[in-house]
């Protein structure tokens, strides 16, 4: 399964592509950042991000697009641009009939490190280790995009429904599943999970 991860942003939109093989073996395929200039009007910036995302989707033909879920920050302009970029990624995938998954940064941290409060350097090192890279990808947006793709690949499938599946999960995956369940209960939905 090819997974294209997106760390949405209006200035820098991270894109990471991995392959999830048998026994959750993950392989690095591609990482990049789609950029738009802050000196350009908003509509043209959105067009640049959209065109860049479409190019990546068409080039790598992913089975799933995994996007970092936008969360509220104190800077409303940043949240707006991030939400718009996430929407563009969802649109580009939907137009091609590709399923979309949304994952929070906490879910990503839990899936990769087992710690929902892991710092960026730890995440970047673990992304490199998981994918067999000699060094963490740069810039941070690129590493975050790969982390979102890895998160989707490692997500527990039916983990808390009992039975044999739960026995085959790592401790980090069990924590991830518990956090995902708590989040669903808190928000009253499981859309995008």
| DSSP string of 159-189, one letter each residue | GGG-SHHHHTS-HHHHHHHHHHHHHHHHHT-
Its sign, for the CA torsion 171, 101, 13, 59, is: positive
- Measured N-to-C along each axis, helices 105-113 and 171-187 cross at an angle, to the nearest 10 degrees, of 160
Three-state DSSP state, 140 = helix
Q: What is the pLDDT of residue 81?
A: 86
Token pair listed for 30: 């591609």
Domain boundaries, position 65: 2-187
Greater confidence, 61 or 170? 61
Q: What is the pLDDT of residue 187?
A: 54
Q: What is the pLDDT of residue 80?
A: 87
Is residue 124 among the annotated active site residues?
Answer: no
pLDDT in tens, 126-139: 999 999 999 999 88
Q: What is the pLDDT of residue 79?
A: 84
Is residue 7 among the annotated active site residues?
Answer: yes
36 inside domain = yes
Q: Of 7, 107, 124, 144, which one is the catalytic site residue?
A: 7
pTM above 0.75, yes or no: yes
| DSSP string of 34-81, one letter each residue | EE--TTS-HHHHHHHHHHHHHHHHHHH--SEEEEEPP---S-HHHHHH
192 inside domain = no
- Asked whether residue 7 is marked as a ligand-binding residue, the answer is yes
* CA–CA gap between residue 92 and residue 99 (Å, rounded): 11
Q: What is the mean pLDDT of residues 140-167?
A: 72
| In the chain, % of residues over pLDDT 90 | 67
Bridge partners for 31 per DSSP: 16
114 inside domain = yes
177 inside domain = yes
Maximum C-alpha span of the chain: 55
Q: Of 68, 107, 124, 144, which one is the catalytic site residue?
A: 68
193 inside domain = no
- Asked whether residue 43 is marked as a ligand-binding residue, the answer is no
CATH number at residue 67: 3.30.420.10
Residues 33, 12 contacting (CB under 8 angstroms): yes
Band of residue 190 on the pLDDT scale cut at 50, 70, 90: very low
pLDDT in tens, 175-188: 656 666 666 666 55
72 inside domain = yes
Band of residue 35 on the pLDDT scale cut at 50, 70, 90: very high
Q: What is the pLDDT of residue 43?
A: 95
Phi-psi category of 158—alpha, beta or left, where left has phi over 0 and alpha has psi -120 to 50? Answer: left
* CA–CA gap between residue 142 and residue 34 (Å, rounded): 9
Q: What is the pLDDT of residue 32?
A: 96
Greater confidence, 73 or 159? 73
Query: Considering its fold, how many domains does the chain have in total?
Result: 1
Q: What is the mean pLDDT of residues 17-32?
A: 93
109 inside domain = yes
Q: Of 32, 141, 144, 166, which one is the catalytic site residue?
A: 141
23 inside domain = yes
Is residue 32 among the annotated active site residues?
Answer: no
> Across all residues in the chain, what is the average pLDDT?
85
Pairing between β-strand 100-103 and β-strand 26-35 as defined by DSSP bridges: unpaired
- Asked whether residue 164 is marked as a ligand-binding residue, the answer is no
């Amino acid at each position: 399964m090819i997974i294209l991860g997106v760390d949405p942003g209006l200035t820098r939109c991270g894109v990471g592509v991995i392959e999830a093989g048998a026994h959750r073996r993950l392989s690095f395929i591609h990482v990049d950042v789609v950029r738009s200039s802050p000196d350009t009007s908003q509509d043209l910036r959105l067009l640049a991000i959209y065109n860049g995302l479409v190019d990546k989707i068409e080039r790598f033909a992913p089975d799933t697009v995994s996007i970092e879920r936008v969360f509220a920050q104190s800077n409303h302009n940043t949240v707006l641009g991030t939400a718009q970029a996430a929407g563009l990624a969802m649109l580009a995938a939907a137009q091609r009939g590709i399923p979309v998954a949304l994952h929070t940064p906490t879910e990503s941290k839990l899936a990769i490190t087992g710690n929902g409060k892991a710092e960026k350097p730890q995440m970047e090192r673990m992304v490199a280790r998981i994918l067999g890279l000699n060094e963490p990808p740069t810039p941070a947006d690129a590493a975050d995009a790969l982390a979102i793709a890895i998160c989707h690949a490692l997500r527990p499938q039916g983990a808390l429904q009992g039975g044999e599946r739960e026995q085959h999960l790592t401790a980090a995956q069990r924590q991830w599943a518990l956090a995902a369940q708590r989040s669903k209960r808190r928000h009253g939905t499981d859309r995008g999970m």
